[in-house]
């Protein structure tokens, strides 16, 4: 791997800063919540309607009621994980190199040399989005009612917040995948060569 310099022709900072990335994430979250809400409503009503058909079950058989809630955690966690992975990996590992939120904020995801990330690197990079949902499914399977997903959600939040404090505006998830989030128009050049990489 050669030593690569990342810069903007205008001299502006080349990396997608914290607030620009926050706005992109909010846009993506709004887009993702539409299918998530629809699925949650369908899955939630089908599982919770069983409990509401027989209100005495909640009082008489709390284990059965907990089993239903665990089933809902498992189902929602599995579906959410699949949706997050399809959305984030589908967009960021594609030629677009950006989700709709990142495109709206003129950002793209690259490796350290400006190339598109592999699917594996993109899955790794996007863990803060999908891992809490995957652990929600595991919570449902183990009956831990969100304890594991809350812990991994806190780790995801820390990974996102670190973006504000690093020189290349990378979170832990970006560093793990060898990824950069850069502004549209950024140039990557081999240092000392004077030739675009």
For residue range 86-141, what is the model confidence (pLDDT) as tens digits? 999 999 999 999 999 999 999 999 999 999 999 999 999 999 988 888 887 777 66
Q: If you average pLDDT over residues 24-45, what whole number do you get?
A: 83
Q: Report, in angstroms and rounded to the nearest whole number, the Rg of the chain calculated over CA atoms.
A: 21
Strand partners, 190: 4
Straight-line distance from the first to the last Cα atom of the chain, in angstroms, rounded to the nearest whole number = 11
Cα 19 → chain centroid:
16
Burial letters 92-125, b for 16+ CB under 10 A, else e = bbeeebbbbbbbebebbbbbbebebbeeebbbbb
pLDDT at 177 over 90: yes
| Cα-based torsion angle of the residue sequence 92, 185, 22, 129 in order, rounded to the nearest 10 degrees | 10
Run of H or E including 161: helix 147-161
Residues 6+ positions from 97 with CB-CB distance below 8 Å: 108, 109, 110, 116, 117
pLDDT digits (tens, 9 = 90+) for 38-93: 877 776 655 555 555 556 766 677 677 667 767 777 777 788 888 889 999 999 99
pTM: 0.78
pLDDT at 193 over 60: no
pLDDT in the model for residue 25? 94
pLDDT in the model for residue 50? 52
pLDDT range class, residue 150, cuts 50, 70, 90: confident
CA distance 82 to 69: 20
Q: If you average pLDDT over residues 5-23, what whole number do you get?
A: 88
CA distance 149 to 140: 10
pLDDT in the model for residue 52? 53
């Amino acid at each position: 791997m050669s030593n690569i310099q990342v810069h903007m022709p205008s001299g502006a900072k080349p990396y997608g800063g914290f607030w620009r990335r926050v706005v992109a994430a909010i846009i993506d979250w709004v887009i993702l919540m539409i299918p998530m809400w629809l699925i949650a409503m369908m899955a939630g009503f089908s599982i919770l309607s069983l409990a509401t058909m027989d209100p005495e079950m909640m009082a008489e058989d709390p284990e059965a009621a907990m089993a239903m809630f665990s089933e809902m955690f498992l189902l929602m966690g599995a579906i959410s994980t699949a949706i997050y992975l399809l959305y984030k990996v589908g967009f960021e590992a594609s030629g677009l190199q950006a989700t709709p939120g990142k495109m709206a904020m003129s950002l793209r995801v690259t490796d350290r040399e400006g190339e598109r990330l592999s699917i594996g690197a993109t899955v790794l990079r996007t863990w803060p989005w999908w891992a809490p949902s995957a652990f929600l499914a595991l919570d449902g399977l183990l009956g831990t009612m969100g304890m594991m997903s809350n812990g991994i959600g806190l780790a995801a939040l820390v990974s996102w917040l670190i973006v504000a404090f690093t020189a290349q505006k990378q979170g832990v998830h970006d560093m793990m995948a060898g990824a950069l989030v850069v502004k549209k128009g950024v140039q990557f050049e081999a240092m000392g060569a004077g030739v675009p990489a």
